A and B are shown apart, each in its own frame.
Chain A
Amino acid sequence: MLFWQILIDGFAISALYALGATGFTLIFGVSGVLNLSHGAIMVGAAVAAWAAASEFGVGPYTGALIGVLAGFILAFATYFIAVRPIQRSKVIAESEKEIFILTATLLWGIIIQEAIAYLFTNNAKTVLPIVEGVTTVLGVRTPRNEYFTAVICWVAIGLLWFLVNRTRRGKAVMAASMNPRGVTLLGIELSSIYLTVWAIYGLLAGVAGILLGMFLGVSSYSVGPLTASAFSIVVLGGLGSVSGSLIAAYVVGYLETGTAYLISPAYRTIPALLLLVVVMYLRPQGLFGRR
């Protein structure tokens, strides 16, 4: 009973972690950007969906659509405000661009977070779920929404896989992550690749944010922890490796769920953090990272 409960709950939460981390790792793999406003974008999308559905009463489907759109817009805003000016800057030394992008995206994340807090207060918000009700599988009563979350996450990840491996545009993105100069030599504009990646990222983060809002609820306080957990999953799996992030998401998700059920919810995040520290010491490039 408890076993099945952990299995089901862990699966759903891990799927959500996986979706959240995928976009983050994609951006890093292709353009070397660690986007520290990640959590803010997810929360922004969730809050937009919540506001549309609950405050303006447009219904859960339109609300979710508006949320995804918000994630999309926020991702582009991040790119044009906090990332591109630094990438193109002639004043900032090449070696220092990394820390500047980190600081700028961090500040941008705080700006989004504070804007949300100002406009919609700090209260926790739960996005109206698209699927309601409870169902019993294997003797475990679970909200249907949980299964819905897991399914949508895997559909989104599957679509991403299809896009990257089967379409021309996706293959160009893949190539750019391997060798940016090689791609430019083939006559593909690198800046348009970046735009594609940020667009994909916006959609992924938007969907992940809304699902999170339906599943666990969000508030402007969840911005920091969300970025941190995406960051640690991605590093655990190996920066830039999408499949590594997926596996790491499941490792972290099950570790957390198992700890919460078997030991105490208060210790929820500790084993995952310990694992992370051990991996960093023994295998700094992550479980599946390439250097």
Chain B
Amino acid sequence: MPAFVSSRLFWIGLVTVLVALVLPTYVSGYVLGLLTVAYYTAVFAMSWDLLFGFAGEVNFGPTFLIGVGAYTAGILDAHFSPGLSIWLCIAAGALAAVIGGVVLALPALRVSGPYFGLTTLVAVLMLQNFIVVAAGLTGGEIGLAVPDVISIDARTNYWIALGFMLVSGAILFGLSRSAIGLILQASGQDKVQAGALGFNVTKHKLAAFVVSAFFSGLAGALMVFYMGTASVSTFVDVGVGVQIIIAAVLGGRRTVIGAAIGAVFLIGMGELLRPLGELATLIVSVIALAVILFFPDGFLGIIRGGARA
């Protein structure tokens, strides 16, 4: 990557992080709560970008991984509440999501493009059906109440979410800029050629799925213990997945950081426009469509001043 990205982007990033760090002193608990959700969504979007932007896999079902992580953690906690620490539940959630990621990766190694996209979509629908049908275990359509939460203090939750986003962002970003990221990008663009150059495409794609699933599941599990409840409409619904995809493309795909910016923007805008009622989603969608049509590189593309690598 040329130096201009790191220089300009680095300073913007540094200022943003500093603002995020001092924010809790100035804003209300309500805003902090909103940002907490935005930060978790940012991790969802960044994990998705690793799969799409680098491995070139159109994953329509990010919520499959998130949902598996969130519900595993939630169910474990709901059934073994006092005996099992929530951190163990969260770890189990992340692990379950990784297993889900491997299951999802199997078709990806065989089929590509729209076919794979559909498989992931079907995975989400199956999970959704399972949750509704196995209502005794999962709470069904009403949702699953989780007895424990990480903390009731808005500030603590904010710090955890911010720290989690920064750490996972740094790992995902580092990974995308490493040799692994380059190999993924190569295999995403031309699988055959990448294989011919001696790279193990299957292994790298599988690794991308595992990493993406790990962070999605972890973020999902953490979010369950922030909200104190797990429901289909917040973790699994196709609409949630759509929002994650839009966030990543809006911020600028293949950048990891852009996905986080897009997620915070989407949630922030949704809240700012809330007084408009039902028009809010409409306006956000119009903005997102306009950005995609006129600035295909997203917000990061605009910041970079249209300079294309």
Contact = CB atoms under 8 A, between A and B. Distances in A.
Nearest to B52: A99
Contact of A284 (B115, B122, B189, B242): B115
Nearest to B58: A99
A85 B291 CA distance: 13
A269 B129 CA distance: 8
A231 B293 contact: no
Interface stretch (A113-121, A125-133, A156-164): A113-121
Interface string A104-140: 1011101100110110000000000000000000000
Contact of A114 (B126, B281, B292): B281
B21 interface: no
B282 interface: yes
Nearest to B249: A103
Interface stretch (A87-95, A146-154, A242-250): A87-95
Nearest to A266: B133
B289 A92 contact: no
A81 B290 CA distance: 10
B219 interface: no
A107 B118 contact: no
Contacts of A224: 238-239
A64 interface: no
A266 B285 contact: no
Given A231-B121, A235-B115, A107 B285 contact: yes
A235 B114 contact: yes
A259 to B, nearest CB: 12
B282 A115 contact: yes
A4 interface: no
Contacts of B81: none
B107 interface: yes
B83 to A, nearest CB: 33
Contacts of A117: 278
A147 to B, nearest CB: 31
Given A100-B292, A108-B289, A110-B242, A280 B117 contact: no
Interface string A62-106: 000000000000000000011001100101100110111011101
Given A99-B52, A267-B133, A104 B289 contact: yes
Contact of A34 (B114, B122, B126, B133): B114
A95 B132 CA distance: 38
Given A103-B292, A235-B118, A284 B238 contact: no
Contacts of B122: 232, 273, 276-277, 280
A270 interface: yes
Nearest to A105: B289
A277 to B, nearest CB: 6
B129 A280 contact: no
Q: How large is the interface on B (under 10, 10 to 19, 20 to 34, 35 or more residues)?
A: 35 or more
Nearest to B188: A95
Contact of B279 (A34, A99, A118, A285): A118
Nearest to B254: A96
Interface string B97-113: 00000000011001101
A98 B245 contact: no
A111 B289 contact: yes
A7 interface: no
B286 A111 contact: yes
B292 A281 contact: no
Nearest to A282: B110
B246 A103 contact: yes
A46 B121 CA distance: 25
A231 B58 contact: no
Contact of A118 (B249, B278, B286, B288): B278
A98 B114 contact: yes
Nearest to A110: B285
B279 A228 contact: no
B292 A104 contact: yes
B246 A280 contact: no
A103 B238 contact: no
A48 interface: no
Contacts of A231: 118, 121
Contacts of B114: 34, 98, 235, 239
B132 A266 contact: yes
B55 to A, nearest CB: 13
B289 A281 contact: no
A115 to B, nearest CB: 6
Interface string A257-284: 0000000001101100110110011001
Interface string B238-251: 11001001100100
Contacts of A100: 249, 292, 296
B293 A85 contact: yes
B296 A92 contact: yes
Interface string B258-280: 00000000000000000001110
Interface string B120-144: 0110011001001100000000000
Contacts of A266: 132-133
Given A111-B282, A232-B122, 12 more contacts: A89-B296, A96-B296, A103-B246, A114-B279, A115-B282, A118-B282, A228-B125, A232-B118, A269-B129, A273-B126, A276-B118, A284-B107
15 contacts: A34-B114, A85-B293, A102-B58, A104-B289, A104-B292, A104-B293, A107-B292, A114-B279, A231-B121, A232-B118, A235-B114, A270-B129, A276-B122, A277-B119, A285-B115
